[in-house]
Structure 1
Amino acid sequence: MKADFSKGPVTLTVSFIGYETQELPLSAADNAISLTLRPSAVLDQVVVAASRVEESIGQVPVTVEKLSQRQVEQITTPDLVAGLGRFKGIDVSSSSMLTTSFSTRGFNSSRSERVIQLADYMDTQVPSLSSYFGNLLGTPVLDVASVEIVHGPASALYGANAFNGVLLTNSKDPFRDPGLTVRLRGGNRSMLDGQLRYATKIGERVAFKISGGATTANDFLADNQSATSTLIEPGNNAAGSNLGYDAVSRYGDVGNTFTATGGALAGKTVFLPGYSEAELVADDNKTHSYKIAPSLAVLLTSNLKATIDYRYTNANTTYQSASRYRFVNSGAHQARVQLEGNNWFVRGFTTRDYSGGRDPQTDGSYNLGFLGGFLQAQQALAKDANGNLTIPVVDATGRAVSYAERYFNTYAIRYNQAYATNGNNTDAAAKTARDFANTNAPLLQPGTKEFDVARNQIIHNPTPGQGARLILRSILNEGSGQYTFNNSFADVTVGAAYRQFLLGSDGSLFEDTRDGERIKNYEYGAYAQVSKTLLDDHLKLAAAGRVDRFQNFGTAFSPRASVVYSLGPDKLQNFRASFSRAFRAPTQNDQYIKLDVGRAILLGNVRGGFQGYTTPLASQLPGILAPTRTAELAGYEYSSAALKLEEVNSYEVGYRAQLVKKLYIDVDYFYNTYNNFIATQNFIGNIDGSRPTAAQIGAAAPGRFQNSALSTRVIQIATNVNQQVKSQGAGLTLSYAFAPALTVSGNYSYNDLITKDFKVGTQSFFNTPRNKFNLGVDGLLLDRALSYNLNYRWVDSFLYESTFATGTVPTAQTLDAQVGYTLKPLHTTVQAGGTNLLDAPNLQVYGAPNYGRLVYVGLLFDIK
């Protein structure tokens, strides 16, 4: 059709599904029009994560959030995942600056064990830990085309552990998006960040790209001096106690319960002073993330493409789980091969993690709790005539005396003396004893040569029970395929996947050994989905189901059924409802862990289960073991069967619409019921699973069940709770685009754990604020040369539970902003921005550091 300019200017409208519709006024014919399509942020977006096939976001049957390339570029945190908290229904948990996990719909944690995170459909978990380290192994940020987050269960299409959500990062296609992009930034905390992407076509059938980057900064370090919860340390003293206490962010502050031979101290527990995280991390406080990701794509035919990818990442960072772990030069290798046609694909990938070399002399990762504890077990040194610590301390028999033993003995002697001379005043005696022991029987002092030597030996010693070295050398292998049949009756998608874990830790985390084979574990499954549109495509019905088989848990079936009804000729109002059932397989740690953390030993639970006694028994000893009272043991009996799959049944309704021009809304409500809910349980038992005898309990009790040489211990396992657990929640997003210069948006999220009366000793790990909201503005000014965005985030206080620390995370209010100005002739954008600009309290994981202010300036070069 030829344009008629005789009556004045005409308007050229350019639209394409998934991109913003743009209008370009023309006063005369022009054969050299240049226009760049911008990804849409509204109802005509295309998503693939919800149903594993392309569909309009308006007719997606479940709650989905999609971030366009522009929205990704607006994230101000160094790690992509850490910035997702500004979107509806998404909770983020940062263990440190570059280690962040995400969750949706409750049960948040630093491990993200209830969601899966994919980069071009490759699982980005670290296999040894069943955890996601933010975007550590994900797509380099300059290569991200979009991010899609599916809220709620998705096991029907993705298998077990797509339990509460899926995060899918889609990378840019080198055929469609060639060019060079470089981003350089610098900021406070000595932050330096450089990112690069280069893509080119080699002829018409071959395309190559390489992306990656490097980020370094001074890491955030934890410094929580509150007393560790008595759920985790039952015999702990109150914070500030002159008997000492186990603090959340001190390590090696282990306790000793004195028996009758302790005199006035009998029955009391004295804790060592311990070491702070900053003292133990020492010169390792720099965090970094290095990654590189080359990719080659070949068009074998017009409808068949082959892709080969490789990703390498290396990091220094801190991760929180059962303890806090410092990873030094750790990371993963990942490789993929894929064939894809118009309606099918076959792919396979492998991931191999590492945590430094297996050679003890090389750098590597370590457990901060072990490091603090084993520093106390070193032989104590006394000063010689010159004031140097050179004289080994021994007892009357010539036996070496550790720093901990010397401290406790000195404390006890001085306490009993002070107690006798101060009118039996226990607190005064404790203060006198503490001050005397700290002066006359000090522990190894940070900054001294002796401390540095001992620290170096411990962090490089991989021997379980002696060193703090953590060795990761696990492998995840996965193969999958999918085919979609399009016909006039219905669209049918079928697929299958197999994955294998080969777990290795040299005994530092799992029940494997250095010289033994890796622990093998597998799962596989197949799925099908049928979708049908009716009423001139206004009604969309879909059903999906997946069968999975697990090495340790048998077979499970995950169904999903959904309906979407769209009103109006343009389908601008969309109502959705769905039912989903999903299963969660216990993590590899839950299945095979063997980690002695002193106060308890953590064991996997996939064999015959455990018999024992509840931990309140400890407070009744030794009287309950008297011959006339042993029958009372029955009142404390505990038993646990081997782990089973956890199940969730989820009901969801939602409404997504364009109410008036440029006003968009998305609202949803869900109700979940969980069966065989997986939680942690502490009890007194034998490590072989048998129930201890009264004699075994009596022998262990004086050491408060912490002696690693004993078979009777406080044991911590993952187990299924024999009660139904219920939760519910809702979310609302509103966005109004006044003009390209101003878009105002906001979202609100509500989450509620309905079940309150958990069994004694059970931790739910809900870890989610009941209320939170975001308010933001963004826009393009000066002929789109100036861009800006501003986001205010408010998060309610909530209880955070974990096996490491339990406590209240306070209310957080953060302000993030970014501004950029593009010098078009130079293909350069000058940027400035920051996260938590007001440096407000911003704790996300109890026991982790506060995520403080980060500001930066930089340049972005983009040559298409």
Structure 2
Amino acid sequence: MRIYLFIVSLFFCSISFAQTSVSGSVKDDKGQPVPGANVKVVGESTGTIADSDGNFSLSTAKKPPFSIEVSSVGYGVKKVSITSNNQKITVALADEETKLDEIIVSASRTPERILESPVTVERMGINDIKKTSSATFYEGLENLKEVHFNTSSMNFKSINTRGFATVANNRFMQLVDGMDNSSPALNFVLGNLVGVSELDIASVELLPGASSALYGANAFNGILFMNSKSPFTSQGLSFYAKYGMTSQKVAGDNDYWDFGIRAAHAFSKHFAAKANFTYTRATEWIPNDERSVSGGTIGHANNQNYDGLNLYGDEVTTFIRDVGQVSRTGYAEKDLNDNKLENIKADFSVHIKPWANDFEIIGTHKIGVGNTVYQGANRYRLENFIMQQSKIEIKNRNFFVRAYMTTEDAGDSYDMRFAAWNINRTWKADKNWFTDYATAFLNSQIQLGATATQAAALARNFADFNISPTGLATPLTPYVDPENPNAPTGIRYEPGTPQYNNALTAVRQDSNFATGAKFIDNSKIYHSDVNYNFKELIKYAEFQLGGSFRRYSLDSKGTIFTDKDSGIDYDEYGAYVQMQKKFMKDERLKFTGSLRYDKSQLFDGQFSPRISFVYTAGVNKNHNFRASFQTGFRNPTTQDLYIGLNLGPFALIGSEASNLTRYHETLPVSSEAIAAGQDPTVSFSGVDAYTRPAYTEASIKQFDQTQDPSVLKLATKPNLVKPEQVKAFELGYKTVLENGLSVDLNGYYNMYNDFLSTSRLVLPYYGVAQENLPYTDEAIDAVRRKDRRTFQIYSNSATTINSFGFGVGLAKKVYKDFELGINYNHAQFDFDQAKDPSFIAGFNTPKHRIKGSFGNPKLFKNFGFNVNARWSDEYMWQSSFADGTIPAITVFDAQISYAIPTLKSVIKFSGSNIGGKDYLQVIGAGRIGQMYLVSLTINP
């Protein structure tokens, strides 16, 4: 009832003030529209942005006469007097450098000049979107200062700002028209799979630092805002079509298709609607990394325990007495899916303005369907993946109330590693295969005098194809397990054969990971937000009050989470207040203070304060200095809490207390152990993973090399997870000098506490893990025989992690309309590994990055061009899938465009990674090749 009365009070506040409406158009000195121009009421924060045709509409409670200020990048500022209600005006802007003078909303939840932002903000407006040299505007974000991409798939790019990010970047938030774009089950953004069409995008704003004070949990290391166009101001039928070629060493040359359509119409001044549809189809950047994860040389010819990074099935391994450690023959990732990518996005919205003011009711539904590849602990093929969002929002210039629901359906998605394992088991059971290998190996040595290398080749040939080594006294026959006489004993299925294709189809449709690879996910998020700005009620300062509520509802039928018997639900909520006020003569000093409180039903509440000062110096108020302190926190994700997934070589077990008791598994022990009197199976629970003494994974690898028990080290006992926190200090300076040079400087220092991370612990099947045990101890026997279980657990690091960096951005018109821009970012981190030996930082960010752009949108009549270049140095990549070094890269992108004004269309030719080598951004993913496109956009 209280919430109802609050919303009703907001409703009446919104209609109780008289409105003054102003509309018109913004043009340049040649009479051409200026899309994305900023229109602002002088002396207020009320403002709007011109649409793609330069048209705008603005409402304010201020009564005439007053002035509005119109500006846009590359043009001078112009003030226009407003003398009456419903006045229509045409504003002509003259060319002039005004970089960094756009209006933004994200930094303080209120319109303000980007120059006066209390924190670092990167922005991409309509003009920037039009001139991007990348295949899509979303990929063009990589040219922004502070942005680094982690590419898992051609259509799945994860944004990384300020480090500590894998493909699953759950420290970064993405909002599309106020809706969190994260997957309900995965808790991170799936790129732009369910985002915005480039025909409908109005602006993009990026806050690279902690933003929890206003946006709550998970706005931890950055937040991206994508804002779409209103059908009241951007009407008509728009269309684009792109065709091109992609080229990669592994995948070869392939077609690329992308097209979209947008329809928007204002049926009256009270009702408008819009719809968007896009379709993309391409061939994947195919991964083909053959390095051996298990050590040794590449290939089974000289390494009988070979485990190729992008070969799956060879993770199934066992120790055979007098033979050694042996792995099964794997299948390449490129043979475990069709390597075709598709993405279909559609959205529909209705907009209602009941009265002659800015009060608006919006109903939206979005759906995204696609195929892509996600890399976590394994490589997952997301096939026919569906994600939907439905929203109802009520807003005006002072408040908004919104509620939305996000649902997802994993469709036909599957784990490619499990697919390979179970294809192998379809034609020959593991026990049968290893018995055949051992029999052929030993007989080849005894009867034929074969060397170990020769015996290994003959043994694999027999185990895979039932071909007995030539010259044996008695030809070998496949082993039949007396305990399981129906176990398959056939011949290896080769990729492309009907037997292989049928087996792959079968395991993809089977959700039992003992025999199949399919995972199920029908999880949901329910979320609501409210915000009220008291600027028209309180004149002393600008006060805002808001809050949010979220419910997670997990449903994987036990294939991801421990929810086999029932679903898992839990809630989070929060509230915040912010004050913003200007001081000193001419209001040159702006203070912003925010405080937010968040509570999850699983954890204690968190306070997130933020304070910032912005001082504007100079006669023209064009030198802006800022200093801020803000905090962020991140609640453990649904996977951190409730995952319970046996991945074969290791198991993932979430840290929530009830999850530990729900997870159980039973594993077979080695034949050598059974002969020594051990039970044939051993059982583990999640409690064992978090409470029993265990060895560090690093020391286990040392033991495998040395067989020296003294190298084994006990892992730190993990605690159950709690929210991680960051304290962020930032300084910045922005200006546009009289010579037109735009300067943007920032530096930051972050201190992380209770840093959420994963560790791998190794438990012996029998005995008790201890340090300095004799070689004959039962636990050492278990480790030596590979009778040991690796668990990946979730916990908070005991040490403080610090990160710091700075950025420099410069831009200027160097000659007429030729624009040159360059930026540099430095990022690094520091922590004491000795205080937490098992901690894996996963910073995954280059220390040095340089980006540059050069272009001219008016090279000559109707022609324009733009060139982008990026360089970054090598850095260490760490993730649960694989570690390794990412080499330094240099990438060039370029585009030329030709406008046809009579058809209101633009033809563009673009290329990405022009003339470059295939390059890597994620260890385990495909290298990124070249892309060349031609596109036609019609935007009346």
TM-score after normalising by structure 2: 0.79
Give 1:743's aligned residue: 819
Distance apart, 1:431 and its partner CA: 4.6
Give 1:683's aligned residue: 761
Please, which of 451, 454, 468 is the counterpart of residue 500 of structure 2?
451
1:176 alignment partner, SS class: coil
Distance apart, 1:122 and its partner CA: 0.4
1:258 alignment partner, SS class: strand
Give 2:307's aligned residue: 246
1:141 alignment partner, SS class: coil
Superposition map of 1:151-550 within 5 A: 151-188=208-245, 189-228=254-293, 236-240=295-299, 241-259=302-320, 262-263=321-322, 265=323, 268-281=324-337, 284-301=338-355, 302-356=357-411, 364-380=412-428, 402=429, 404-419=430-445, 426-427=452-453, 429-434=455-460, 437-438=463-464, 440=466, 443-486=492-535, 487-513=538-564, 516-535=565-584, 536-550=586-600
Q: Please tell me the residue identity of whatever aligns with 2:436.
A: T
Question: What is the rounded CA distance, in whole Å, between the counterparts of 2:118 and 2:70 in structure 1?
Answer: 19
Distance apart, 1:142 and its partner CA: 1.1
Between 203-212 and 110-119, the greater mean CA deviation after superposition: 203-212
Q: 1:732 to 1:21 in 2, by over 3 A?
A: closer
Question: What is the rounded CA distance, in whole Å, between the counterparts of 1:37 and 1:418 in structure 2?
Answer: 86
CA RMSD in angstroms comes to: 3.2
Distance apart, 1:551 and its partner CA: 1.9
Question: What is the rounded CA distance, in whole Å, between the counterparts of 1:218 and 1:621 in structure 2?
Answer: 43
1:800 aligns to 2:877 (yes or no): yes
Contact 2:71 2:77 in 1 (8 A): no
Contact 1:611 1:691 in 2 (8 A): no
Q: 1:200 to 1:724 in 2, by over 3 A?
A: same
Between 743-752 and 298-307, the greater mean CA deviation after superposition: 298-307
Please, which of 578, 603, 610 is the counterpart of residue 553 of structure 1?
603
The answer for unaligned runs of 5 or more in structure 2 is 1-28, 40-68, 79-87, 246-253, 468-490, 661-686
2:914 alignment partner, SS class: coil
Give 2:656's aligned residue: 606
Superposition map of 1:35-184 within 5 A: 42-184=99-241
Question: What is the rounded CA distance, in whole Å, between the counterparts of 1:766 and 1:295 in structure 2?
Answer: 39
Between 287-296 and 635-644, the greater mean CA deviation after superposition: 635-644
2:939 alignment partner, SS class: strand
Distance apart, 1:242 and its partner CA: 2.4
1:554 alignment partner, SS class: coil
Question: What is the rounded CA distance, in whole Å, between the counterparts of 2:648 and 2:878 in structure 1?
Answer: 19
Contact 1:40 1:68 in 2 (8 A): no
Superposition map of 1:667-706 within 5 A: 667-685=745-763, 704-705=786-787
Distance apart, 1:757 and its partner CA: 2.4
Distance apart, 1:578 and its partner CA: 0.7
Please, which of 703, 726, 739 is the counterpart of residue 661 of structure 1?
739
Distance apart, 1:270 and its partner CA: 1.1
1:761 alignment partner, SS class: coil
Contact 2:907 2:935 in 1 (8 A): yes
Contact 1:82 1:134 in 2 (8 A): no
Question: What is the rounded CA distance, in whole Å, between the counterparts of 1:81 and 1:561 in structure 2?
Answer: 31
Distance apart, 1:781 and its partner CA: 2.2
Distance apart, 1:685 and its partner CA: 4.4
Q: Please tell me the residue identity of whatever aligns with 2:761.
A: F
Q: Please tell me the residue identity of whatever aligns with 1:256.
A: T
1:842 aligns to 2:919 (yes or no): yes
Deviations along 1:61-82, one digit per CA (max 9) or x if unpaired, are 1111010112123334445433
Give 1:4's aligned residue: none
Distance apart, 1:835 and its partner CA: 1.2
Question: What is the rounded CA distance, in whole Å, between the counterparts of 1:337 and 1:738 in structure 2?
Answer: 47
Deviations along 1:518-546, one digit per CA (max 9) or x if unpaired, are 21121110011111111222111111111
Deviations along 1:185-218, one digit per CA (max 9) or x if unpaired, are 1011211111111211111111111112101111
Deviations along 1:269-313, one digit per CA (max 9) or x if unpaired, are 1122201111111xx321111011111111122131111111011
Question: What is the rounded CA distance, in whole Å, between the counterparts of 1:58 and 1:496 in structure 2?
Answer: 28
Deviations along 1:28-61, one digit per CA (max 9) or x if unpaired, are xxx9979699999723201111111111101111
2:626 alignment partner, SS class: strand
Question: What is the rounded CA distance, in whole Å, between the counterparts of 1:653 and 1:23 in structure 2?
Answer: 28
Please, which of 630, 644, 653 is the counterpart of residue 594 of structure 1?
644
Question: What is the rounded CA distance, in whole Å, between the counterparts of 2:602 and 2:137 in structure 1?
Answer: 35
Please, which of 725, 729, 746 is the counterpart of residue 647 of structure 1?
725
Q: Please tell me the residue identity of whatever aligns with 2:360.
A: K
Question: What is the rounded CA distance, in whole Å, between the counterparts of 1:618 and 1:766 in structure 2?
Answer: 24
Question: What is the rounded CA distance, in whole Å, between the counterparts of 2:882 and 2:138 in structure 1?
Answer: 23
2:353 alignment partner, SS class: strand
2:691 alignment partner, SS class: strand
The answer for unaligned runs of 5 or more in structure 1 is 1-9, 26-30, 229-234, 357-363, 381-401, 707-712
Deviations along 1:109-146, one digit per CA (max 9) or x if unpaired, are 10121110000110011111112111111122211111
Q: 1:24 to 1:668 in 2, by over 3 A?
A: closer
Distance apart, 1:434 and its partner CA: 4.2
Question: What is the rounded CA distance, in whole Å, between the counterparts of 2:105 and 2:401 in structure 1?
Answer: 17
1:306 alignment partner, SS class: strand
Deviations along 1:322-380, one digit per CA (max 9) or x if unpaired, are 11111111121111000002211100010101122xxxxxxx11100110111122243
Contact 2:715 2:761 in 1 (8 A): no
Q: Please tell me the residue identity of whatever aligns with 1:566.
A: T
Between 433-442 and 69-78, the greater mean CA deviation after superposition: 433-442
Contact 1:365 1:469 in 2 (8 A): yes
Deviations along 1:555-612, one digit per CA (max 9) or x if unpaired, are 1111111111111132211111111111111211111111111111101012177123
Deviations along 1:610-665, one digit per CA (max 9) or x if unpaired, are 1231245757999x999xx9xx9996264211101111111111111112332101
1:636 aligns to 2:686 (yes or no): no
Give 2:796's aligned residue: 720
Contact 2:296 2:303 in 1 (8 A): no
2:391 alignment partner, SS class: strand
Contact 2:531 2:547 in 1 (8 A): yes
Please, which of 803, 810, 815 is the counterpart of residue 892 of structure 2?
815
Question: What is the rounded CA distance, in whole Å, between the counterparts of 2:528 and 2:764 in structure 1?
Answer: 40
1:105 alignment partner, SS class: coil
Q: Please tell me the residue identity of whatever aligns with 2:266.
A: K
Question: What is the rounded CA distance, in whole Å, between the counterparts of 1:236 and 1:830 in structure 2?
Answer: 51
Give 1:19's aligned residue: 72
Contact 1:288 1:317 in 2 (8 A): yes
Question: What is the rounded CA distance, in whole Å, between the counterparts of 1:39 and 1:339 in structure 2?
Answer: 38
Question: What is the rounded CA distance, in whole Å, between the counterparts of 1:139 and 1:692 in structure 2?
Answer: 55
